[in-house]
Amino acid sequence: MVSIAEQRLTCNRIFRHITYYSKKQFTGRLDVQAANGQSWQIYLNLGQLSWIDGGIHPHRRFLRQLQLAGATNAVLENVSQYTLPKAETPECIEYHLLAKFAQQKQLTPDQVTQVIKGTLLEGLFDVVQATELASPTLQEFFSQDPQLTTMADLEGAGDSFYVQVYENHRASEQGRLPHTWMQGVMNVQQEVQKVWERWLSMGLQNYSPNAAPLVNLPEKLKAKTSEKIYQNLMSLMQGKAPLRDIATRMKRDIWGMTQVLQPLIHQEIITFVDVPDISLFSNTEAMSEDTTSYESRRQSSRNQGLIACVDDSPQTQKMIETIAHSSGFDFIGIYESVEALPTLIEKKPKLIFLDLVMPVVNGYELCHQIRRVEALKDIPVVILTGNMVDRMRARMSGASECLTKPVEIDKIRGVLSRYQAKAK
């Protein structure tokens, strides 16, 4: 029997926003920030879905969709060798490259349409999973700030994500594809809803298909399967490749394959681990002075600089990271105080949040060390502390200001806005 909580896990939260703009024949970008820190950029063209960027594996997703569409080895090699010319500044290099393949007839219209649709289905499934499963604590965290909701007239304001809207932004200005190749919102929603319900029915709502399966209990697996299946699973599930990549490699439907694995997952014979995205396109070290890496260009176009947080609390790190990203900043979290100074010298952030109470090197000491380094001495340092005595001592150590813990969203945002304005 499905619980009341599970009945609420629909696709409506995010698609309510998308549909709102689709009905207005909107052309532009919707930036979605989820409470877990993940973000996506959803592109619409006259109300039709044209692309989705972001998430944790945008490169894996693009390569996977090309493979599923039957792209030749030559096309796949072109992807890994591609260097973006400086004159071309698309927001999404994957879409830009897809348009080039279409223009050069390296991919057929059907293949390009399949890549677009597959990318949207995968990406929006991930958005749904992130936005539907956010914890009540973070829902409350987001709903405290009315600026986080850009569509106050929509029912359900205060969901655990927010949307920022950028009109007339396209995935690529230089590489445009026919409007007829775009995807209707309703059709995409229905397909995402179908696979999401199937995922829920298997009790896997807390597992991401972007995670890599790993045989956790090999002896139990051996006892429950044939020798052939055991060897296959041991070979495939080593915690290195995401479930989606494995399904693509095996030419299997991921949902059907996962259904077979479901009992083993629930018995924890198979577990999941996070894996990073792959590197695509040319390495920046191999580029000439006339070329610039797309990744750095994409970040700089949306970014206000780097925020650093030195704190051994994962909760504090995650909250400040989420707020920083939502304000257009990059973020680096440093958990070990002994690693802080060399990391800060290397990264040179625009602003540093520094916890006062940490093992080995406390916040006072670290702040004093920061002020003695020429490259860091003018960077604002915000100490996170609890009482007035700490505040006075923190000021004497060179802190720019102090904030009370636990972290409050409006105060963090206020700090970012203040130093952002000073930098201009």
pLDDT, averaged across the chain: 81
Q: Which residue has the higher pLDDT, 35 or 316?
A: 316
Average pLDDT of 26-32?
92
Q: Which residue has the higher pLDDT, 33 or 54?
A: 54
* Residue 342 preceded by cis peptide, ω within 30: no
Q: How far apart are the first and last CA of the chain?
A: 57
| Distance from C-alpha of 369 to C-alpha of 184, rounded to nearest angstrom | 56
Distance of CA 190 to the CA centre of its chain: 23
Per-residue pLDDT at 160: 60
Of 418, 417, 422, 402, which is closest to residue 326 (Cα–Cα)? 417
DSSP state, residue 148: G
Tens-digit pLDDT profile for residues 244-256: 999 999 999 898 8
Q: What is the dihedral of CA 378, 380, 381, 387, to 10 degrees?
A: 120
Say if strands 39-45 and 351-355 run parallel, antiparallel, or are unpaired: unpaired
Question: Which of the four pLDDT bands, split at 50, 70 and 90, describes residue 352?
Answer: very high
Q: Which residue has the higher pLDDT, 387 or 226?
A: 226
Per-residue pLDDT at 121: 98
Of 119, 132, 163, which is closest to residue 36 (Cα–Cα)? 132
Q: In this structure, which amino acid lies at residue 75?
A: V
DSSP states of 344-374: HHHH--SEEEEES--SSS-HHHHHHHHHHST
Per-residue pLDDT at 144: 41
Tens-digit pLDDT profile for residues 93-150: 899 999 999 999 999 999 999 999 999 999 999 999 988 875 444 344 434 443 333 3
Per-residue pLDDT at 282: 53
Percent of the chain having pLDDT more than 90?
43
Q: Which residue has the higher pLDDT, 92 or 7?
A: 92
Say if strands 351-355 and 306-310 run parallel, antiparallel, or are unpaired: parallel
Buried b (16+ CB within 10 A) or exposed e, 271-297: bbeebeeeebbbeeeeeeeebbbbbeb
Q: Which residue has the higher pLDDT, 6 or 324?
A: 324
Average pLDDT of 219-231?
92
The answer on pLDDT for 222 being more than 80 is yes
Say if strands 330-334 and 306-310 run parallel, antiparallel, or are unpaired: parallel
The answer on pLDDT for 169 being more than 50 is yes
Say if strands 28-34 and 161-167 run parallel, antiparallel, or are unpaired: antiparallel
| Distance from C-alpha of 318 to C-alpha of 20, rounded to nearest angstrom | 30
Specify the pTM: 0.64
Average pLDDT of 352-356?
90
Q: Which residue has the higher pLDDT, 380 or 3?
A: 380
Of 223, 204, 210, which is closest to residue 262 (Cα–Cα)? 204
Determine which of 107-121, 223-237, 254-268, 271-285 has the lowest per-residue pLDDT on average: 271-285
| Distance from C-alpha of 267 to C-alpha of 337, rounded to nearest angstrom | 39
Q: Give yes or no for a contact between 265 and 207, defined as CB atoms under 8 angstroms apart.
A: yes
Per-residue pLDDT at 318: 79
Per-residue pLDDT at 190: 95
163 to 48, 150, 301: CA distances (angstroms): 18, 6, 18
| Distance from C-alpha of 83 to C-alpha of 280, rounded to nearest angstrom | 10
> What sign does the dihedral 416-419-422-424 (CA atoms) show?
negative
Structural element, H or E, at residue 297: helix 294-302
Per-residue pLDDT at 316: 81
Question: Which of the four pLDDT bands, split at 50, 70 and 90, describes residue 175?
Answer: confident
Structural element, H or E, at residue 29: strand 28-34
Average pLDDT of 156-182?
80
Per-residue pLDDT at 405: 75
Backbone angles phi, psi at 41, to 5 degrees: -120, 115
